Amino acid sequence: MPSRPEELPDGMRMGDTYGGALYIGDKGKILCGSHGANGLRIIPKERMRDYARPPKTLPRSSGHIQEWIAACKGGPAAGSNFDYAGPLTETVLLGNAAIRAGAKLRWDAANMRFPNMPDADQYLHRTYREGWSL
């Protein structure tokens, strides 16, 4: 948990039941609940009052399950389809490998390895028990 920002009024919660995010910029800080829930709040409060929200130009989600069912039935691809979710997941998991390695890693996506630290390649794959494989 990050330190409580001094701009956050007493009694105001930083995130929600599931966590949240704190973005720190040059002109202020932005808080939101887990996965961007509960809207974004700019602190200090004065900055939020001065903020003009941009127009909504992206389609809104009907929900993960509804999007998935619609895609299965031949509708539009889900907002988190594999073309998007695959590279996103790869990025997050590479961050986990860097944390486990305790070092900055260079990623060779074409060959799926860390050329600057081959020892970290162990975090990319798992050895399955005999008789089990993917």
Domain-by-domain residue ranges, the chain? 1-53, 64-123
pTM: 0.55
How much is the pLDDT for 128? Answer: 86
How much is the pLDDT for 110? Answer: 94
Q: pLDDT tens, 44-87? A: 888 888 888 889 898 888 998 999 999 999 999 998 888 988 99
Distance between CA atoms of residues 85 and 83, nearest Å:
6
Confidence of residue 100 (pLDDT cuts 50, 70, 90): very high
How much is the pLDDT for 67? Answer: 93
Confidence of residue 107 (pLDDT cuts 50, 70, 90): very high
Question: How would you label 2-39 residue by residue, b for 16+ Cβ within 10 Å and e otherwise?
Answer: eeeeeebeeeeebbeeeebebeeeeebbbbbbeeeeee
3-state helix, strand, coil in the chain (%, to 5): 35, 15, 55
How much is the pLDDT for 65? Answer: 93
Confidence of residue 98 (pLDDT cuts 50, 70, 90): very high
Confidence of residue 122 (pLDDT cuts 50, 70, 90): very high
Mean pLDDT of the chain: 89
Residues 11/4, Cβ–Cβ less than 8 Å: no
Q: Which of 41, 39, 57 is nearest to 49 (CA)?
A: 41
Distance between CA atoms of residues 70 and 83, nearest Å:
17
Distance between CA atoms of residues 4 and 1, nearest Å:
9
